[in-house]
Amino acid sequence: MPSPLTVSRRQALRLVAGTGLFFMAGGMLRPSSAAAAAFEAPKLPYAENALEPVISARTVSFHYGKHTLGYFDNANKLVADTPLAGQPLEKVFLEAAKDQKLVGLFRNAAQAWNHVFYWNGLSAAGGKPSAKLQKAIDTSFGGQEALNKALAEAAVAQFGSGWAWLVADPAGKLSVVKTGNADNPLQEGLKPLWVIDVWEHAYYLDYQNRRAEYVKGVLEKLVNWEFAAQNLG
């Protein structure tokens, strides 16, 4: 979706919880809205080799090109003949989660959302939490080291496929939660701030069964704290 529109990195990375998912693609923001005929898969917000050496270009190519785009393709096929057609991606997976007959739609729509969130939460640029986010981290966890430990433990301990999330509750308190398969903290009324993917396709080409090494590398070098701060609001 090329566009002459130029936006700041802050704008491009923003996901607005509760109003639908905003994708960064080709230098512009594209909302998944009722005006769209289908969910439009975003381009990566960086080159495939941008996350090396922690995550290889080969892994990014397969993870994005096969898995992420596959979830979008499947979600588009599955939503077409349902009352949810034309609704924002976030609304689709939250509503589909309530109906066992729509389990396939839920899984694919949620995974599409989760993956966009994951890709935008990674950056080789490093950085630190904003003052507001750091204060919330200190209040909720007792400091950055404790937060990283909690994220690492949740990510490594997740049995099978899933995700480890940094979330905020309605009162603004932060916590770390893990979810299996396609599940998302929004289903429990929590606001996602950042996530690490621990499905095997996220790391197996680079680390095989050494999930802990992948998690350590991501937490030490690839967390996009600006993105997390924007999601906190």
Residues 114, 162: one domain? no
- The answer as to whether 168 is a domain residue is yes
C-alpha–C-alpha distance, residues 96 and 195, integer Å: 22
**Residue 233's pLDDT is what?**
93
Residues 214, 169: one domain? yes
Tokens representing 16 are 């607005």
If you count them, how many residues does the chain have? 233
- The answer as to whether 126 is a domain residue is no
Choose the final residue of a domain: 120, 150, 177.
120
Please count the structural domains in the chain. Answer: 2
- The answer as to whether 18 is a domain residue is yes
Number of Cβ within 10 Å of residue 175's Cβ equals: 16
Residues 114, 135: one domain? no
- The answer as to whether 183 is a domain residue is yes
- The answer as to whether 4 is a domain residue is no
* Band of residue 127 on the pLDDT scale cut at 50, 70, 90: confident
Residues 214, 172: one domain? yes
The beta strands (E) that lie in 22-147 are given as 22-25, 28-31
Residues 100, 151: one domain? no
The pTM (predicted TM-score) of the whole model is 0.85
- Look up the CATH number of the domain holding residue 24: 1.10.287.990
* Band of residue 30 on the pLDDT scale cut at 50, 70, 90: very low
Burial class (CB in 10 A: 0-12, 13-18, 19+), 113: buried
- The answer as to whether 208 is a domain residue is yes
pLDDT digits 0-9 by tens, 139-170 = 999 999 999 999 999 999 999 999 999 999 99
Residues 14, 64: one domain? yes
Residues 156, 109: one domain? no
**Residue 126's pLDDT is what?**
77
What φ, ψ does residue 74 adopt, rounded to 5°?
Answer: -65, -40
Choose the final residue of a domain: 90, 120, 150.
120
Burial class (CB in 10 A: 0-12, 13-18, 19+), 131: exposed
Residues 31, 116: one domain? yes
- The answer as to whether 125 is a domain residue is no
Residues 24, 86: one domain? yes
Helix, strand or coil for residue 205?
Answer: helix
- Look up the CATH number of the domain holding residue 204: 3.55.40.20
Residues 64, 91: one domain? yes
- The answer as to whether 45 is a domain residue is no
Choose the final residue of a domain: 75, 99, 120.
120
Binding site, annotated residues: 63, 115, 197, 201
Residues 140, 114: one domain? no
C-alpha–C-alpha distance, residues 23 and 40, integer Å: 9
Tokens representing 115 are 């993956």
pLDDT digits 0-9 by tens, 68-119 = 999 999 999 999 989 999 999 999 999 999 999 999 999 999 999 999 999 9
Binding site, annotated residues for Mn(2+): 63, 115, 197, 201
CB 169 within 8 A of CB 98: no
Residues 147, 116: one domain? no
Q: How many Å is the Cα radius of gyration of the chain? A: 17
Q: Which residues form the domain of 104?
A: 9-35+55-120
